[in-house]
Structure 1
Amino acid sequence: MLDIPSRVRVHVETLLAAQNDMGVCDAFEQYAPVGRPGAMNAPHPPKVAGIDSTVPAPAHTVAPPPAAPDTSPSSPSGPHARPAGALLQDRLAGWVSDLTTLNELTERLARTNGLDAALKELLRAGAALVGARRGLAVLEPDDGLGPDTTIGLGLARADLGHIETVPRSAMPYGTLLDTAAGLPGGDGEDVRPDLFAEDGLDPRHREVAGRLGYAACYALPLSTEAAGRLGAAVWFYDEPAEPAERRRHLAGLYLRFATEHLARLLDTERTRACMATVYEELLPSRLPRVPGVQLASRHRTGPRGGGDWYDALPLPDAALGLAVGSVTGAGPGAIAAMGRLRASLRAYAVMEGEDPVAVLSDLELLLRLTEPARSATALFAYCEPALRRITMAGAGHCPPLVLGERRTEFVETSVSAPLGMLACWEAPSVEFQVSSGETVLLYTDGLLHRTGESVDRAFARLHTAAASVPRALRHDPAAVADHVLHTVLPNGLDVTDGAEDVALLAARFE
């Protein structure tokens, strides 16, 4: 029995399971040459992305030269020939090293959760596998539904601009995207080992290659039978070169996995964009202009799409209705329920807006009869700009915040249950005055939840953010809303795809 080290034995089952996937029928004859292991089949993994953060220097060789015959005493033909078991262990260790490298790289790619991040990781890993320093990935799904994007590795924005001036058909990614070569079952690669030696090289391509300092390139399609053709990736060499057959095989295996991962991310991105579009269409397309009041709004949609909403509508007698609310749940059902609730509140506000309690009572009855399994919070304010008087009622919603030159305080509202939680909802309304130049801030609880803190600390953070609005910005409700949003949710917590929806409505009274 061969004395195979434990670090090799532990992967034997993995090797056997992956043998068919790698397309290798004889691992010892087809995958590794006989003799001393080369750079890609050494017992220890090479420095590649996922194992070492440093990308190796390009391997500028068309093919490894044949090994010179070994006439030393340790040569297999000499008196002290290496045993066959040692050669087997070397070859098997090289194969284990390559599979371990692929495992590390695919695990790193699987941890990405966005298209841009996945494409950047793909370029870094691919550059290490094919021995290049720079690269370019073009995402262009063949179904025409997008999104289309271009990501570079080691290329500045200006460099990408220069490359885009080259006729598409002259670039390797254009060949793969516009011909059958990039389709599943096509040629599957575009190898140009010495660009400046090509007789038919496009003059503009020659000029750009000289400007950017690359002399060779290697391109692979991002396509599989299941995902179709999503795009292509190309890596650039500083000198005439091309990756050896073994490196090309590993890169092809990696890109097969990468394409499937990109297809999943693409479906998620399209769903998210569709949900965001529906959400946008159900919110006010523009805010009304009412004498005596300036309005501004901000909203952020979670990845699944939720039920937070806001509204502002002119009412009879030069009045103004302001509303914010939140429907339980997420996804298409919550968005649809939000749209129905907002439309109903607008109708009730037009008929009986001067009585906010009646508006919310009717809304609660509608919700209980039509969607008994769902609850919602809401706040409706009836504003009289000429008198700077506001009458307001809330159903389980956060109290509004008033900020001005002399005060920054929450409006005292009565504690009430959300809509749909009780057999019959009713709560008293609150009436208060605002001074000239003061801003009333209405918001949903997503603004508090995104902070990740307790409710008390989140309210304190909101109060501090409102009090810290610079004096020069207080005349502009949009600037006030932006300052509050970015102060309460710093370090990217206010991005569109945060976990919670956020709706913010600011009304400044003149």
Structure 2
Amino acid sequence: MSAARLPKVAGIDSPIPTPAHTASPSVEQQSHPGDPNAHPPAPDPVGQLTAAQDRLASWVTDLTTLHELTGRLAGTATLEDALRELLRAGGTLVGARRGLAAVSPADRLGPPTVVGLGLGPAELGTLETVPLPAAPEAVPAEEIHTDLRHEPGLDARHREVAARLGFAASYALRLSGESAGRLGSALWFYDEPAEPVERRRHLIGLYCRYATEHLARLLELDRSRATVATLREELLPARLPRVPGVRMAVRHRPAAGGGGDWYDALPLPEGALGLSVGGVSGSGISAVAAMGRLRASLRAYAVMEGEDPVAVLSDLELLLRLTEPARSATALFAYVEPASRKIVLAGAGHCPPLIVGGRRIEYVETSLSAPLGMLSCWEAPSVDFRALSGETLLLYTDGLLHRTGDPVDRAFARLHAAAASAPRTARDDPAQLVEHVLHTLLPDDRENPHPTEDVVLLAARFD
């Protein structure tokens, strides 16, 4: 009976040859060392199969580890978080507990970013004093120093820093990819002389190639956000004007992707003041650009006919419908006479302002109206009232309510309660008042790295 064929393993043809269909040689046929007729020993099928299964198990383990680590890396949303995850995963793969990752793109457009693992700011600063190759292109793809204390030819400053920080060995990889190009490098440090084995080096090389592409995407996203932020800052007032009888303060917390909310305070003829807040639909750089155009137009209309807020918003609605037919916008414009503390305002789909004082804390009732661009012709009646001495008018955008995560009616109640809880010192200072309201209403807002809503809060206090 012939011997059975060895099975294939996981769909891979087994490299183990099928044994010959012959009987084992007799004692007389067995070869002896030095015998010219000697034959090589018969292969051991069981041993070879075991070795193949061990190699396959090792590959499966490595692929599982790589899948888990890249999955965690893909979950990072900022460049610094991704670099920290890269250092943690790399430290696990090469057996190091400290590391350093630096991003310095080849196009020199920045931003340069340095992140450490198990290293404080002082240690990172010390490492920056180690001389690097004059040309970034000269940085090797892989660099291993197995014994920094005794390795010949090592730069004296390199050896000095290693001794000061307690590094005995290091392993470095250049972060580069086919589409991303050269982004920077990652470096891990050992407390004792050591180096990663060939298998670990191969695995971390695969991981870093994937990480480089992910870092390149996050870098491009950071640059886009920086462009949007710069554009937004240029389109909004750098400072609020000084108007006798009125003290003002504003806080703007932009959305991560760039939102279209604006604020403005504009001195008008005869000592009047125009206040406006609003926002256009959409997000990103196009929404920011549309916001800039709309705000600039509103300023022009306010100078020409600011005493009639309804006319100002009607003109703005016509402009939006003709030039931005795919967008809508909410807006609130107030014409203020500081001497008499008379306020005339109109709103288009916007939240009502809040008047805060010692005798009252209440919303100013404005007529319900659609946002600009939603109707073929917009017009709503204005509201006029007088503020008392010491009262503050709070104008805000709906992002302030949305970021609370509550239903609209509850968010309005929370905003009212936040203003009511302000101490007297805060009510006397508009800057302190807006800070108190934001901190009370959105206590954890600054910990949110990717807010989806703009927040504008403008306060005008009448002396």
Identity %: 67
Q: Give CA-to-partner distance per residue, 1:360-394, whole Å, 9 cap, x none.
A: 11111222222233221110001111112211111
Q: How much does 1:249 deviate?
A: 1.0
Counterpart code for 2:301 = Y
Whether 1:439 aligns to 2:392 is yes
CA distance in 1, matches of 2:100, 2:208: 14
Partner of 1:249: 202
Change (3 A) 1:3 1:380: same
Matches within 5 A, 1:233-244: 233-244=186-197
Whether 1:426 aligns to 2:383 is no
Contact 1:448 1:458 in 2 (8 A): yes
Secondary structure in 1 matching 2:182: strand
Change (3 A) 1:470 1:201: farther
Partner of 1:119: 83
CA distance in 2, matches of 1:493, 1:160: 26
CA distance in 1, matches of 2:327, 2:135: 50
Partner of 1:289: 242
Equivalent of 2:131 in 168, 171, 180: 168
Larger mean Cα displacement after TM superposition, 251-260 or 328-337: 328-337
Partner of 2:225: 272
Partner of 2:251: 298
Q: How much does 1:116 deviate?
A: 0.7
CA distance in 2, matches of 1:494, 1:352: 42
Whether 1:180 aligns to 2:137 is yes
Partner of 1:31: none
Q: How much does 1:473 deviate?
A: 2.2
Partner of 1:145: 109
Partner of 1:398: 351
Unpaired runs of at least 5, structure 1: 17-25, 29-76, 170-174
Counterpart code for 1:180 = E
Q: How much does 1:438 deviate?
A: 1.7
Contact 1:450 1:493 in 2 (8 A): no
Matches within 5 A, 1:3-152: 9=10, 82-152=46-116
Q: How much does 1:332 deviate?
A: 2.8
Secondary structure in 2 matching 1:117: helix
The CA RMSD over aligned residues, in Å, is 2.4
CA distance in 2, matches of 1:397, 1:226: 46
CA distance in 2, matches of 1:300, 1:193: 49
CA distance in 2, matches of 1:178, 1:261: 25
Q: How much does 1:3 deviate?
A: 6.6
Equivalent of 1:365 in 318, 325, 338: 318
Contact 1:320 1:383 in 2 (8 A): yes
Counterpart code for 1:103 = H
Q: How much does 1:338 deviate?
A: 1.2
Equivalent of 1:490 in 418, 443, 450: 443
Change (3 A) 1:469 1:85: same
Contact 1:364 1:425 in 2 (8 A): yes
Q: How much does 1:211 deviate?
A: 2.3
CA distance in 2, matches of 1:288, 1:225: 52
Q: Give CA-to-partner distance per residue, 1:261-301, whole Å, 9 cap, x none.
A: 00011111111111111111111122111111111111122
Q: How much does 1:494 deviate?
A: 7.3
Structure with max Cα Rg: 2
CA distance in 2, matches of 1:93, 1:285: 63
Counterpart code for 1:461 = R
Partner of 2:26: none
Partner of 1:503: 456
Q: Give CA-to-partner distance per residue, 1:7-56, whole Å, 9 cap, x none.
A: x84xx68xx9xxxxxxxxx999xxxxxxxxxxxxxxxxxxxxxxxxxxxx
Change (3 A) 1:308 1:293: same
Whether 1:258 aligns to 2:208 is no
Larger mean Cα displacement after TM superposition, 494-503 or 141-150: 494-503
Equivalent of 1:227 in 167, 180, 192: 180
Change (3 A) 1:434 1:310: same
Partner of 1:61: none
Partner of 2:404: 451
Contact 1:486 1:494 in 2 (8 A): no
Partner of 2:25: none
Secondary structure in 2 matching 1:168: coil
Contact 1:218 1:234 in 2 (8 A): yes
| Count of aligned pairs | 435
Whether 1:189 aligns to 2:142 is yes
Q: How much does 1:163 deviate?
A: 1.7
Q: How much does 1:243 deviate?
A: 0.9
Counterpart code for 1:156 = G
Unpaired runs of at least 5, structure 2: 17-40
CA distance in 2, matches of 1:290, 1:350: 16
CA distance in 2, matches of 1:27, 1:178: 47
Contact 1:130 1:243 in 2 (8 A): yes
CA distance in 1, matches of 2:366, 2:404: 23
Q: How much does 1:117 deviate?
A: 0.6
Change (3 A) 1:445 1:2: farther
CA distance in 2, matches of 1:472, 1:277: 34
CA distance in 1, matches of 2:447, 2:265: 23
Contact 1:300 1:496 in 2 (8 A): no
Q: How much does 1:167 deviate?
A: 3.2
Counterpart code for 2:365 = E
